[in-house]
Amino acid sequence: MTTHFRACNLCEAMCGLRIETDGQRVTSIRGDDDDPFSRGYLCPKATALKDLHEDPDRLRAPMKREGKTWRTIGWDEALDEAARGLHAVRTKHGRDAIATYAGNPTTHNTGAILFSSMFLRALGTRSRFSATSVDQLPHMLAAHWMFGHQLLLPVPDIDRTDFLLVLGANPLASNGSLMTAPGMKHRLEALRQRKGRLVVIDPRKTETAERADEHHFIRPGTDALLLAALVNEVLRAGATPLRVELADGLETVRTAVARFTPELVAAPTGIAADTIRRLAHDFRTARTAVAYGRMGTSVQPHGTLCAWLVNVLNIVTNNLDRAGGAMFPMPPFDPRWLPRAMSVGPGSHGRWRSRVRGLPEAGGELPVSTMAEEMLTPGDGQLRALVTSAGNPVLSTPNGAQLDRALAGLDFMVSIDPYLNETTRHAHLILPPPSPLERLHFDVVFPMLAVRTVARHSPAIFDPGPDARHDWQIFVALGKRLDALRGAPLSQRLTWAAMERLGPERLLDLGLRLGSRGGLGGLSLKKVAAHEHGLELGPLEPVFPSRLKTKAKRVQLAPPELIADLSRLDALVAEQSTGLVLINRRHTRDCNSWLHNAAKLVSGPARCTLLMHPDDATARSLESGAQVTVRSRVGEVTVAVEVTDRMMKGVVSLPHGYGHGREGVRLQVATAHAGVSVNDLSDELRVDPLSGNAALSGVPVHVERASR
């Protein structure tokens, strides 16, 4: 029996694990009691590491599609054919005819994070898409404009705050999102024990709302109105931002939000004016306070305004860059301040736009809501090929049925993925990397969002064997072949060779030595690895002004693009709420769409149900368990209804990530618990026009008893 200590890399929480193995078998997975960050906590998803490793449906060798059948081929043949296919499309139709899509698991994969950018440069395409634009893009764009870098994302100092205001987030299910904080239950209990307050604003009474001191229902899509009114009330009380000498634009903000009074926004939000005024007072006068808006505030037509106004509220109440407020983590490996070849850029907006609808580029990517139409619409610039990495956009992006049709018509498609799923079934080639337990892991992304600073080095537990290829090796092999086909200069070929020799571990070591915490001669991979339970580097610390990346090292409170976008809220005030609107939700056992093939995680009562308020059910003569048809502009699904007073009246909810019943998928367990895809109802035309982020929340729907 051998014991291994490592960090879980299935979600943002980075929980420390104690994994016991007997030969090539995992015998137990438990929380690591000595982990300095998670302190023994783990969620049910951690058991999926064993299931993923042992899953008979997981692909172990490259697969080639021939019509509707698949056959196993060798790596050299697969990589050669993938490069030739992509090169042929580029030669005939231009480099932008090739699209790329990266899914969320990419951020949990050290090698993929470090090497994918080089592959993208080899492709040379501007048609880049990812899960970012169905998730956190509004936060990144607001950070780019306000703080000078898209990854300068302030996180709640939850362990020291006295007042936590949560909008559109359910951290008890997610363990934080853009707020890496394992063991959220214990952290919220500690908040209560120190006489702190938790207030939740959400159209569903979530698991987090159940434990809150206050929960207020809000009409989906109106969070920006509430936030504008809160900022207005605080400014009317005479508050000034933290270290005002480091902030520009306060008076512009004051003028811009002055019309958004509690009385004006009460009707559209569904929150009484007196309640809004009291919340503003309590937040402003708390010893420390922090506002935290997440998924529900991101995926709506005013998502970027929400992200900006959350930051503004924290700033004007003197709660940015201070203990107990919103703070900027300083990770041990910081890609924001590394040499250019390894760094993450500060961000961008509108340098180019999508061909069909004119949606803006942000951070070098186009909104994924436009990907299908770019494939389906003929003409110059039509997308003809696609490379996906660790993603399943058919289930995770709006109007998945439309994307399903679009993928079927591509000239060529390559998927770097261990499964034959709803998206990869359209690929001509699937290139499967090893399981998470067969590769080293070092969190590169999530320490930039963590409420405490830790570093962990997790060596591979199992050897994948000589016939396996890691994600980073696949990227390097494809990049080398593409550069050879297009006749790239010798210097580029030498760069590939150097990166191949370095590999992830040597790059990590270099990054740690140059990173923000250690500096030259500071941390190293060897020093981190010496702490098998993880290296504790302390709580969050103030970083102003040195870490601001704006030209003047000053916070920009009033970016012109955001001030101008406030005008769209005027129409929202006048909007009449009629009919039902749909929101999505997640469960602690779910991880988007890709853990549903783990039997332990999908056991128990069915989770893919439509939640509905009792009054809405009565009006339609529905009872719990009844099969209903849910229709939107783009499609319909049939699902069981679950009547509950935990939903706001007029709002219904489906979970995200289901819909595994499509033909040609090799996911035996997931297919047996198929459910329906909420993104067969979400509308690709509903976006935040400023960022292009998908507006998955608040989709108008019609619900009726399903015909027999």
Cβ pair 672, 598 in contact under 8 A = no
Task: Determine the 3-state secondary structure of 348 from DSSP.
Answer: coil
d(CA 215, CA 212): 6
Beta bridge pairs of residue 164: 198, 290
By percentage, how much of the chain surpasses pLDDT 90?
Answer: 86
Q: What averages of pLDDT result for each successive group of 10 residues across the chain (708 residues)?
A: 94 94 94 95 90 95 96 98 98 98 93 92 95 97 97 97 98 91 95 97 97 98 98 87 74 97 98 98 96 97 98 94 95 77 82 97 97 97 97 97 98 98 98 97 94 94 96 97 92 89 92 66 86 93 88 93 97 88 92 88 92 98 98 98 98 96 94 96 98 98 93
Question: How confident is the model at residue 225, as a pLDDT?
Answer: 98
Residue pLDDT, tens place only, 570-585: 999 988 778 999 999 9
Query: How far is CA 558 from its chain centroid?
Result: 26
Measured CA to CA in angstroms, residue 370 lies from 242, 682, 683 at distances of: 40, 13, 11
Name the average pLDDT for the chain. Answer: 94
Task: Give the C-alpha separation, 622 to 605, whole Å.
Answer: 20
H or E element: which one contains 227? helix 223-236
State residue 335's pLDDT score.
Answer: 82
Tens of pLDDT, residue by residue over 91-148, are 999 999 999 999 999 999 999 999 998 899 899 999 999 999 999 999 999 999 999 9
Question: What is the reported pTM?
Answer: 0.96
- Give the whole-angstrom CA distance, residue 109 versus residue 88: 29
DSSP letters, 22-68, are ETTEEEEEEE-TT-TTTTT---GGGGHHHHHHH-TTS--S-EEEETT
pLDDT of residue 239: 60
What Rg, from alpha-carbon coordinates, does the chain have?
24
Q: What is the pLDDT of residues 304-322, one digit of tens each?
A: 999 999 999 999 999 999 9
Both structure tokens of 97: 């005819």
pLDDT at position 518 is 46
Whether the bond between 434 and the residue before it is cis, its omega within 30 degrees of 0, is no
pLDDT at position 344: 77
pLDDT digits (tens, 9 = 90+) for 469-525: 999 999 999 999 999 999 989 888 888 999 999 999 999 998 888 765 545 457 899
pLDDT in the model for residue 164? 98
* Rounded Cα distance, 131 and 565, in Å: 24
Rounded Cα distance, 433 and 476, in Å? 13
Contact between residue 311 and residue 154 where contact means Cβ atoms under 8 Å apart:
yes
Give the pLDDT score at 520. Answer: 47
Secondary-structure breakdown of the chain: helix, strand, coil percentages, each rounded to the nearest 5: 35, 20, 45
Concatenated DSSP letters of 395-414: HHSSSHHHHHHHHHT-SEEE
If you search the block for the tokens 């502009």, which residue do you land on? 633
What domains sit in the chain, N to C, each tagged with a CATH number?
A: 2-54 (2.20.25.90), 154-328+547-568 (3.40.228.10), 578-705 (2.40.40.20)
Tell me which amino acid residue 281 is: H
* Residue range 522-554, pLDDT digits in tens: 789 999 999 999 999 999 999 888 889 998 889
89 φ/ψ angles, rounded to the nearest 5 degrees: -65, -45
